[in-house]
Structure 1
Amino acid sequence: MLTEPANAYARRLNTWDAAMIVIGGVIGAGIFLTPATVARHTSSGAEVLLLWAIGGLLTLAGVLCYAELGARRPQAGGIYVYLREAFGLLPAFLFGWTMALINYPGSVAAVATMFADYFCTAIGLPPLLYVKPVAVGAIVFIVGINLFGIRAGAWMQNIFTVLKLTAVALLVVSGLVLAQGHLGLALARDTTYPVSSWAFAGALLPVLFTYGGFHYLNDLAGEVRNPQRTLPRALGMGMAGVVICYVLANYAYLAGLGHAGLAASEAPAADLMRRMFGESGATVIAVGIACSTFGYCAIAIAGGARVLQTMGADGVFFRAAGRVDLRTRAPQIALALLGAWAVVLTLSGSFNQLLNYTTVGEWLGHVFGIGTLFWYRKHFIDDPAPYRVPFYPLLPLIFVITVFGVIVASAIHAPGDAGMSLAIIALGVPVYYGWQRWTHRQSA
């Protein structure tokens, strides 16, 4: 039986809500833009689909590992909680320092700006004048809804996840209709883009990044009903749905635009819809992308706030941020702080570089987060586990080794960004000890 403190979160999320969080946390703007980048690193439609299938299978392996971790420790905070228990407070703080204070608000600022850009395009507002005010308004609105508790946030999230799935479905249908019975041409080789095996392997980087975001449900695990049963189901169902959507969307791009057309496109979703419906089609997909990005922001704010709250409760962040409102069961101060910092980054326009700097830290967090599974299996060998990842230790090893390889490849491709990411993580060490000293003085 789980025991919860008096100020614990209320478990109000059912399996449907949890699965929608998984889907909404993964599907943002990437699937509408990244396929063109992947196509430029391949020489046929078959290779494009193979890469998205491989990326999906690798991500599913990671998701199954997160399902066991979430079932073992169904508490708010996700990776932060696993690192704290397995490796101590300092490694957990370094993850929280990198993610909750930089990556989460940075990604919210970046995606909120993208939402505002597509929103302004869809309704005819001049982007140069209105992008920042609309982005700030979106962040403030999302924070305001979440202040009323997880149910209000879940309702909003479910609506926007259904809308983004509708946008993906529209893309798939449009691509298949444009193919006009020549669906096999989508897999054909394109001599315009002869690439090496190294380039093909490097194309897995943007694929995996587009599959990222599956960990947000674990950040919210303290609010999931019957978590030992619900978390594995929701993670598996949600991620399987994402893989199907991504493979079908890429097949539609290839069928409607061809490999060369996809590789040459800067906005494949808009180009596909424009071919099908004219400029009105581009406007429709702009609305779909706006819904998709808005939904992602809602999940990132909710999940990031739970990490901040857990850090505050542990005394490695402002103590006030560790409070959970007794009436709404929401981390209201943590939500306000995260939202305020995201607004500052949005107005300053400095979020893109921050995201580049913290990408390595984010994926290192996944490596060490799933690495805690080996610690739990060793130290709690006799404890009954409500869910165990199949093919252990093969699946976690495959995920850890592959993702670490992706990190190395990313560091080789952009050594400056990787170096800054490691520097930001290292800077957290003196911050941690300085904060501990300051906290002790305050207590005294």
Structure 2
Amino acid sequence: MSTSKATPGLRRSLSVTDVVLITVSGVTPASSIFVIAPFALQGAGSGTFLAFALAALLAAAFALCYAELGAAHPNAGGEYVMIERVFGRRLSLLMYLLILCLLLFVPAVLATGAAPYLNSALGARLDGAEVALAMIVLCFGIAVLDIKLNAWLTGSFLLLEVAALTLIAWLGFSEARQPAAVLWQPVMAAADGGLATVPVAAIAAMAGIAVFAYNGFGGAVYFAEDMSESGRPVAQAVLATLLIVVLVELIPVTALILGAPSLAELSRQADPIHYVLSHLSSPAVARVISGGIFLSVFNAIIAIVVQSGRFLYSSGRDGLWPAPASRALQRIHPRFGTPWVATLALALPSALLTFHSSLAGLASFTVIILMLSYLLLALAALRSRRGRHPHPYRMPWWPWPPLLAAAGSVYLLWAALRDAPARDGWIMAGIVLAGVLLAAQRPRCKVLIIDEQKER
């Protein structure tokens, strides 16, 4: 893949705060609490607190890898550029396919899961597929607009999302019905209807789900070319995003556990979050919270689409696609300064997937992709300092964070593959094979790395 002919670049208009607002919105903490955390509550009961705390430690190790690599290799392509610069084309193309799968499926899945919250907020019975399709169309259209406008818009929605989570935390802590000891002495429903101690293995397994809930902090690296200054500010954006995400997810999860009327019932419920909130709030408050969750999902899709546009723009500039497609993906909107073709490239497949996607079917598959991606990044962080590229940000306590990240991702990858259906294994094998075949047919990537000193 040779670098394509130079084209007008992205507008450098974003501050660290702007990038943090967009990236936290892409993580969508409220949706993580309502859609992903229930899996952990069902599998580990009050041990969910320890699972989320353990996941926060692992996420910090992953974030430090993202921060150092993102500062050393600033590029809108994100992860695949980092891997290319450290390991070469084969692993780079594998990483590209892994991230492309996530960016393709996640918006459709989030949109599909948003309809029940809109119906709850409005007291309506809108068709889920039609709601999802409308959300996809609107979000892709908004994502094409000026990046500064998107930062303001996602930041505004994020304030509403944090307000809803703050309300949940206040309800849980103010009406706590469980002793604090259940957080570090976890229990869940037993077969006889009572309570049983949660096995350590169950907590470790649910840590993978919790990492999935935190995932998205690394998305800040996609905006390296939109920032007024890259390098060290990219690292600051990654780490600030993770800190905010951990706080706004771990605190409400803790409040929901302590506010649960019965820990046995909590882990038996098909919808444990609704079970707790139905006892802590009135129907009117529940509708307000549902409205906040719907807006958070809408906000997350905008942020993810904005990130995917930068990702595909970079791959077109690097010549990863056939020449006509690569030239199209590099096109910058003359008014908004955004990669509009790259941003809209996944609109049609995402719209079609709204009729054929489900979170339950994607959860284990997504965890597998995440853990494999994190493993590659951890290995890259261990090797990167041996290269010739400058590192404007160096993580503290190196090499322990990438070693922890590598060990944690290997264990969670093994646990996910062990419990995953055979279909997920076949899909992952197909992705790996596709990466190998693509690498064999394409010349070595020569990705464009932004050098601010030369630009100035």
TM-score, normalised with respect to structure 2: 0.86
The C-alpha deviation readout for 1:138-167, integer Å capped at 9, x for no partner, is: 111121122122112212211121121111
Report which stretch shifted further, 86-95 or 4-13: 4-13
The C-alpha deviation readout for 1:269-318, integer Å capped at 9, x for no partner, is: 33333223322232122112112211221121111121111112222222
Q: CA deviation at 1:434?
A: 5.9
Where does 1:328-347 land on structure 2 (aligned, <5 Å)? Answer: 328-347=336-355
Q: Which residue of 2 aligns with 1:440?
A: none
The answer to whether residue 228 in structure 2 is matched with residue 232 in structure 1 is no
C-alpha change, 1:398 and 1:392, in structure 2 (3 Å) is: same
Q: CA deviation at 1:409?
A: 0.8
Report which stretch shifted further, 241-250 or 228-237: 228-237
**Aligned-partner Cα distance in 1 for 2:365–2:248:** 29
Q: Which residue of 2 aligns with 1:243?
A: 246
C-alpha change, 1:409 and 1:123, in structure 2 (3 Å) is: same
Q: CA deviation at 1:192?
A: 1.6
C-alpha change, 1:424 and 1:349, in structure 2 (3 Å) is: same
Where does 1:188-207 land on structure 2 (aligned, <5 Å)? Answer: 190=187, 192-207=195-210
C-alpha change, 1:144 and 1:272, in structure 2 (3 Å) is: same
Q: Which residue of 2 aligns with 1:184?
A: 180
The answer to whether residue 434 in structure 2 is matched with residue 427 in structure 1 is yes
Q: Which residue of 2 aligns with 1:308?
A: 312
Q: CA deviation at 1:333?
A: 0.7
Q: CA deviation at 1:425?
A: 2.6
The C-alpha deviation readout for 1:213-243, integer Å capped at 9, x for no partner, is: 1221112221122222322222222211221
The answer to whether residue 278 in structure 2 is matched with residue 281 in structure 1 is no
Q: Which residue of 2 aligns with 1:144?
A: 141
C-alpha change, 1:306 and 1:295, in structure 2 (3 Å) is: same
C-alpha change, 1:295 and 1:76, in structure 2 (3 Å) is: same
5+ unaligned residues in a row in structure 1: which ranges?
437-444
Report which stretch shifted further, 12-21 or 317-326: 317-326
Letter in 2 for 1:112: A
Equivalenced residues, count: 425
Percent identity for Structure 1 against Structure 2: 26
C-alpha change, 1:207 and 1:155, in structure 2 (3 Å) is: same
| SS of equivalent to 1:75 | coil
Letter in 1 for 2:72: R
Letter in 1 for 2:130: P
Q: Which residue of 1 aligns with 2:386?
A: 378
5+ unaligned residues in a row in structure 2: which ranges?
188-193, 444-456
Q: Which residue of 1 aligns with 2:222?
A: 219
* C-alpha contact (below 8 Å) 2:63/2:239 kept by paired residues: yes
Higher helix share: 1
Q: CA deviation at 1:38?
A: 2.3
| SS of equivalent to 2:217 | coil
| SS of equivalent to 1:179 | coil
**Aligned-partner Cα distance in 2 for 1:108–1:84:** 26
Where does 1:146-165 land on structure 2 (aligned, <5 Å)? Answer: 146-165=143-162
TM-score, normalised with respect to structure 1: 0.88
C-alpha change, 1:331 and 1:278, in structure 2 (3 Å) is: same
| SS of equivalent to 2:195 | coil
* C-alpha contact (below 8 Å) 2:140/2:343 kept by paired residues: yes
Letter in 2 for 1:171: I
Letter in 2 for 1:410: A
Q: Which residue of 2 aligns with 1:71?
A: 71
**Aligned-partner Cα distance in 1 for 2:205–2:359:** 25
The answer to whether residue 396 in structure 2 is matched with residue 397 in structure 1 is no
* C-alpha contact (below 8 Å) 2:109/2:358 kept by paired residues: no
Q: CA deviation at 1:354?
A: 6.0
Letter in 2 for 1:368: L
The answer to whether residue 372 in structure 2 is matched with residue 364 in structure 1 is yes
